[in-house]
């Protein structure tokens, strides 16, 4: 059972993830945008942050990830990045994930999300922690 923060502005995706994660008895908190997410993360001690790339802007998720890494309380919190921009941008997330300077996240998942993949990824990140 872990404390998970979801930062995503799509209420339908958020609701789906909430149901999936709560089915495994995780506690889920939702933030609807980057600013709210950073504020919520604060010193709350989350075990995992699930972060969407594209929120207010195309790259808001990247900015939020970097801000989290720069903060004292969240520099070690695992971040799972959600993306739907792989085809439209051609970004090779497989290669870029983990790059401290520009993509300081621990893993990524492509939308549409599959429940099993999401749970597998979440469990593996929580174990690493």
Partner 1 sequence: MNSSAKSNRSSKRSEAPRDTAPPEGLMESLYWLIRLRWFAVAGVFLTALAADKVLRIPLSYAPLYAIAAGLGACNLLFLVYLNRVRAAARPDLPVITNRLANAQIPMDLLGLTALVHFSGGVENPFAFYFVFHMIIASVLLSRRASYLQATSAVFLFLLMAGLEYTGLWAHHCVASSAAGCRRADLLYLLGAAAAFSSTLFIAVYMATSISGKLREKEARLRGANLQLKEKDRIKSNYVLRVTHDVKEHLAAIQACLDPVLHGLTGELKPGQVSLIRRSYERTEKLTFFVKALLEITRIKLSNKMETGVFSLRRTAESAVNFVEARARVKNIRLTWAVAHGVEEITGAQVYIEETIANFLANSIKYTPAGGAVDLLIGDAGASVLIRVSDTGMGIPKDELPHIFEEFYRARNAKAAERTGTGLGLSIAREVAEKHKGRIWVESEEGKGSTFYFSLPKTLPPPAQVL
Q: Look at residues 84, 114, 129 and name the one whose alpha carbon lies nearest to residue 17.
A: 114
Nearer to partner 1, 12 or 101 (CB): 12
Residue reference for tokens 């010193």: 43
From the list 112, 66, 110, 118, the residue with the least C-alpha distance to 89 is: 110
Q: Is 28 in the site for partner 1 (CB under 8 A)?
A: no
Per-residue contact string for residues 100-129; x = within reach of partner 1 by CB under 8 A:
-----------xxxxx--------------
Question: Is 1 a residue that touches partner 1 (CB under 8 A)?
Answer: no
For 6, 12, 99, the CA distances from 79, given in Å and listed in that order, are: 10, 21, 13
> Smallest distance from the beta carbon of 10 to partner 1, in angstroms?
6
Contacts with partner 1 by CB under 8 A lie at 10, 12-13, 15-17, 19-20, 23, 84-85, 87-90, 92, 111-115
């Amino acid at each position: 059972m872990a404390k998970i923060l979801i930062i995503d502005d799509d209420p339908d995706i958020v609701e789906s993830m909430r149901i999936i994660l709560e089915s495994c008895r995780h506690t889920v908190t939702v933030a609807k945008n980057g600013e709210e997410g950073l504020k919520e993360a604060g010193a709350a001690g989350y075990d995992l942050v699930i972060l969407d790339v594209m929120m207010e802007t195309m790259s808001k998720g990247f900015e939020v990830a970097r801000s989290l890494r720069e903060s004292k309380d969240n520099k070690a919190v695992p971040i799972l990045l959600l993306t739907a921009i792989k085809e439209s941008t051609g970004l090779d997330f497989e290669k870029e994930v983990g790059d401290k300077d520009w993509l300081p996240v621990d893993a990524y998942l492509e939308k549409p999300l599959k429940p099993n993949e999401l749970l597998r990824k979440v469990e593996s990140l929580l174990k690493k922690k």
